[in-house]
């Protein structure tokens, strides 16, 4: 069971997302517990101030280090892994979600304003994690992205009916093949005949090819780290050669 603590100035932010879908199922199924904590509970003074001016000048406020250090000291259990959500962090990838899911406890630190005093990143967090090369207004959305993607990796959360963990985009370094459902013919737009054939060997082979082609077209950068056979690599390299000549 994975225990996740979220430290935020906006605990109410998490109400809806935790009450739906994968996260709700993971909590109900006992694979995940999530506790959302108001960082102000660890701030000092009558006004429980959590931010202050930037040393050296500059606009905007920076989140103070003390509430984060105190909160983590109170909440951590042996083996806790502390993550600061930050646009300067290492990108979240499917592989990282597998690694995070293996911890007993994750403590997610959500920044706001101009960000968090650097000492938190340097001396408290095990790592900084980014959800992509853009800036959102706070660490709440990024921590939900991380939490949902990690919950999908916990054994039993997706159930037997979901192919997901092994076949989903990025699991084996490839994008997923195209998916279709009924109707087989929507106003003349038909799903590929092979999917209606009932021949599962041919369907698997078609899906693998589509997955390779899609990754080649949309995210060729992924192919270097993907698990491909010699024949698949040769065929994609021939395809690249044809396209560039
Ligand atoms: N001034 C900061 C910078 O330029 O890097 C951005 C601060 S942002 C407005 C406030 C907080 O949102 C950050 O401290 C972080 O917790 C979170 N955040 C914003 N973008 C993020 C991203 N791409 N990945 C992870 N966290 C992010």
Kindly report the backbone phi and psi dihedral angles of residue 32, in degrees, each rounded to the nearest multiple of 5, phi listed first.
-140, 140
Q: Check residue 104 and give left, alpha or beta (phi > 0: left; psi -120 to 50: alpha).
A: alpha
Q: Is the dihedral of CA 216, 219, 221, 224 positive or negative?
A: negative
Residue 88 pLDDT > 80, yes or no?
yes
CATH class of 2-151: alpha beta
d(CA 133, CA 135): 7
Per-residue confidence at 172, pLDDT binned at 50, 70, 90?
confident
- pLDDT tens, 29-43? 999 999 999 999 999
Q: Residue length, the chain?
A: 245
Residue 38: enclosing H or E segment and its boundaries? strand 32-38
CA of 211 to the centre of ligand 1 (A): 33
Ligand 1, pocket residues at CB < 6 Å: 85-88, 110-112, 114-116, 130-132, 134-139, 142
pTM of the model: 0.94
Residue 215 pLDDT > 70, yes or no?
yes
d(CA 95, CA 76): 24
Domain segments of the chain as ranges: 2-151, 172-244
* pLDDT for res 20: 96
Per-residue confidence at 135, pLDDT binned at 50, 70, 90?
very high
Residue 166 pLDDT > 80, yes or no?
no
C-beta of residue 31 within 8 angstroms of C-beta of residue 156: yes
CATH superfamily of 172-244: tRNA(m1g37)methyltransferase, domain 2 (1.10.1270.20)
């Amino acid at each position: 069971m994975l225990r996740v603590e979220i430290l935020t100035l906006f605990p109410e932010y998490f109400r809806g997302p935790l009450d739906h879908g994968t996260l709700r199922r993971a909590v109900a199924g006992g694979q995940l517990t999530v506790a959302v904590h108001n960082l102000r509970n660890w701030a000092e003074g009558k006004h429980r101030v959590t931010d202050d001016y930037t040393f050296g000048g500059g606009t905007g406020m920076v989140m103070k280090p003390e509430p984060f250090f105190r909160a983590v000291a109170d909440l951590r259990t042996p083996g806790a892994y502390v993550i600061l959500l930050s646009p300067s962090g290492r990108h979240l990838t499917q592989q990282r979600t597998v690694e995070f899911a293996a911890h007993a406890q994750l403590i997610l630190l959500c920044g706001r304003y101009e960000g968090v005093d650097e000492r938190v990143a340097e001396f408290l967090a095990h790592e900084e994690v980014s959800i992509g090369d853009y800036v959102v207004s706070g660490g709440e959305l990024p921590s939900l992205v991380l939490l949902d993607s990690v919950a999908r990796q916990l054994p039993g959360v997706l159930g037997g009916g979901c192919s997901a963990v092994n076949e989903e985009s990025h699991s084996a370094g490839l994008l997923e093949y195209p998916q279709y459902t009924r109707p087989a013919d929507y106003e003349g737009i038909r799903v590929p005949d092979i999917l209606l054939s009932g021949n599962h060997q041919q369907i698997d082979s078609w899906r693998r090819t589509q997955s390779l082609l899609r990754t080649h077209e949309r995210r060729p950068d992924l192919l270097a780290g993907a698990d491909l056979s010699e024949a698949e690599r040769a065929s994609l390299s021939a395809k690249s050669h044809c396209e560039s000549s």
